[in-house]
Each structure stands twice: as structure tokens, then as C-alpha cells.
Chain A
Amino acid sequence: MAINWFKYSAPTNFYGLAGKLIPFFAWPAAVLFVIGLYIGFFVAPTDAVQSEAYRIIFLHVPTSILSMFIYLIMAGYAALGLIFNTRLSSMMAQALAPTGALFAFISLWTGALWGKPMWGAWWVWDARLTSELILLFLYLGFIALQASIEDPRRADRASALLAIVGSVNVPIIYFSVKWWNTLHQGSTIKFTGTSMHIAMQEAMFAMLVACWLYSIAVSLARVRSIILERERNTQWVNELKEVRS
């Protein structure tokens, strides 16, 4: 059976598909959040050095990973929109930005809450923390630039450039703890394996997948709103059941 993938690069068709897909991501995300938090708080053992305070890692690490990952996906969509002039790609980039910004913010916030009791400081200008803060500013800049230009196609092009140029920051965040002396510890999850107890790994993995699925569900819901907003003058939107009623 041949599937015409390009069918869904048209906002008209993707609108319906996204609506059908959302529950398949939202429900597993909710279940995995519960499982992850349960393992994280009740099953995972106390840490030898940091005792209970380390448990913030189950929120801190998944949100940090996703804040970087979503940025790359967003920049990828923005680049696709710029190169192929596909409307949906730019809308996807626009839809991903608030979720990425949220994760970057949670990552910085939980990091500060963790840093105060463990390091003795809410904030240090070390390379890891500073580059993550720049990532949050890139997200906010992307959102602001998109919102400040009236014509959506011109807004897409301008913000796409910012997103693409900003993607240089992501490897800097990832490798910052390797390249420079930082107060932030090295990576626990490496390409070669992890350096943590198995129950802690399970909790972290569940939370990571939960955050991932949540991002997909929320972005799909958001892209549906963006499609409606941008195509509000078209006939197909005005014929939609939810619009007419």
C-alpha cells in the first residue's frame, strides 16, 4: 500500500490527522508521568552523597534534555520551511517554541533549587548554566520575533534564521562540562552508558519518555490552533464543525 506522505504536508489535511493523534501521545504521557514519579519518589533508593535532595534530577534532567532536543527539532522545521517554502513546517516550528521555552525554564528553575542546598549557590555563571540561559533567551527571542511581524510568511522567514543560527548553542550546552571547568557535574547519561543505580535510571527514563510524549501532544494541539488562526479566511476552516458551532 502506497501512502502519499505529502498529503499531510498540507495544513488542511494535517489539521484532522493531528486531532486524531493527540490522545495517542497524551494518555501514555500521563501514565508515564505517574509511573516515573512513583519510581522516582518511592522505589529509587536514597543517594549516598546527596540523600533525598538528588530526586529533583528526575525532573531536571529530562526537561534539560528535551529543551535542547526540541530546539534542534524546531530549528529543523524552521529550515525546512525556509528551504521548501512549506507552510506546515514553519507552523510546527512556531508550535514547538513555547514547549521548549517551558522546558528550558523548568530546567533552570529546578537547577537553582538543586544548586542552593548542594553547591551552596542558586546560580553560578559557569558555562553549562550560562549556555542553558542563552537557550531560554533564544526561545523567547524566536517567539517574540514571530509575534512582532504582522505577515506570517515574513515572520516565519525571520524567526527561522534566528532558530537556525541559534542551533550552534546546543552542542555548546552539551559539551560545556567537558570543554571547560564548571561547577556543574559531568553528564550522567552518556552515549556509552549511565553512572547511576538501576531504579534511578528507570525513573529517569520514564520521566524522559513522558516529557517527550507530552511535548508531541501539546505541540500537535498548538499547531492545530495555529492552522486555524492562519487559515481563518479559507472556506475549509469556516466549514469545520467546531468553527461553525
Chain B
Amino acid sequence: MTPRKKRMWFIVAGVALVAAAVGLVLYALKNNVSLYFTPTQVFNKEAPQGRSFRIGGLVEVGSVQREKDGLNTRFNITDTVQKMPVIYKGILPDLFKEGKGVVAQGKLEADNVFHAEEVLAKHDENYMPPEAADALKKAQSAKAAATQTSDSPSIERPVAK
């Protein structure tokens, strides 16, 4: 083998080994690398007990309640399987909305409510003008309505139509 080829295989083997090592480390630290736990993970007790962690998911539609003092907000974070009630005192980011992504940092207290110290909004990777977004929403709700009426037997819903 020429020294040139030897060096080449040395590099290829080196990179492969380093990649494998890094891959194993990251796999082992999977839970630590992830920024947040889902509500399901929290219910399965995978989240740290008694200390601060992050929980992420969607703000449950219809769950946001502002308390009378004007500072505290209560809402549920859901991953569509489980939901976690959250209370937060402070200013919410502009993109905080029902049905949208959210990541909250805080502690799960004894009252089984997640007391958040920080709430961050998570947005998706789709960018479109408002008109397109409206059209998309309309099409989706029309589709949802269509499936709903066809699924439910008409006898039970005499008032419909």
C-alpha cells in the first residue's frame, strides 16, 4: 500500500470511528439532548421529579384562562394523548395561541399543576401570506364538517341541515 492510500484509509477509518462514538454518546444522552418532555412522558414519570424541567406540546384549544388579577394565565399543554395543566405568571410571547406549539420551563408541584417560570412559543416551518392561510383553514374546516356529517347517522341529528 502506498503511503498516500494508507493516509486515506486512516482518515476514512478515523472519521467512521469518531462518528460512531459521537452517535453512541448522543444516543445515550437522548433524553438530555431533547429540549423538552411531552405530557405523555411526564405522566409516565420519565421527567425529573422535584426539579425544574421543560414541557412541550400544543396549547389545548379552549383551555386558556386569564385570572382576575391579570397576571396569571392557566392553560393546558397537550400532545393529543395526555394533557398537563400549567399556570404561568408573566408576559406571554406574541405567538402564544391556542392550538399552537409551546415550550414551558418550570416545576411540577404537589397540586399536579405545572408552575411555569418561562413560556416560549414554538412556530412551524411553513410560511405563507395570510390569504393563503385563510384559504387553507377554510378548506380544512369544510373538510372536517363534511366528514362529521357523513359519519354521524342522520337519525340522531334531526336538526342538522
Task: Count chain B residues whose beta carbon lies closer than 8 angstroms to a beta carbon of A.
Answer: 39
Contacting A118 at CB < 8 Å: which of B19, B37, B95, B130? B95
**Is residue B7 contacting chain A, with contact meaning CB distance below 8 A?**
yes
Q: Which of B43-51, B120-128, B149-157 contacts A (4 or more CB under 8 A)?
A: B120-128
Q: Which residues of B contact A30 (CB under 8 A)?
A: none
The residue of chain A having its C-beta at the shortest distance from the C-beta of B29 within the complex is: A180
**Is residue B118 contacting chain A, with contact meaning CB distance below 8 A?**
yes
The residue of chain B having its C-beta at the shortest distance from the C-beta of A55 within the complex is: B127
Q: Which residues of B contact A8 (CB under 8 A)?
A: none
> What's the nearest-Cβ distance from chain B to residue A201, in Å?
9
Q: Which residues of B contact A45 (CB under 8 A)?
A: 128-130
| A191 and B62 alpha carbons, distance in the complex (Å) | 37
State whether A118 and B18 are in contact (beta carbons under 8 Å apart), knowing that A48-B130, A83-B8, A187-B125 are contacts in the complex.
no
Q: Which residues of B contact A127 (CB under 8 A)?
A: 33-35
- CB of B7 within 8 A of CB of A165, answer no
Contacting A165 at CB < 8 Å: which of B14, B56, B121, B133? B14
Task: Count chain A residues whose beta carbon lies closer than 8 angstroms to a beta carbon of B.
Answer: 39
**Is residue A47 contacting chain B, with contact meaning CB distance below 8 A?**
yes
Query: Known contacts A47-B127, A83-B11, A120-B118; can you find 15 more A-B pairs with CB under 8 A?
Result: A48-B134, A49-B123, A119-B120, A119-B122, A124-B35, A127-B34, A179-B26, A180-B30, A181-B34, A195-B125, A195-B127, A196-B126, A197-B128, A197-B132, A200-B127
Q: Show 16 A/B contacts (Cβ-Cβ < 8 Å), sorted by A.
A: A45-B128, A45-B130, A47-B127, A48-B134, A49-B123, A117-B94, A120-B118, A124-B120, A126-B35, A164-B14, A168-B15, A180-B34, A182-B34, A182-B35, A183-B56, A188-B126
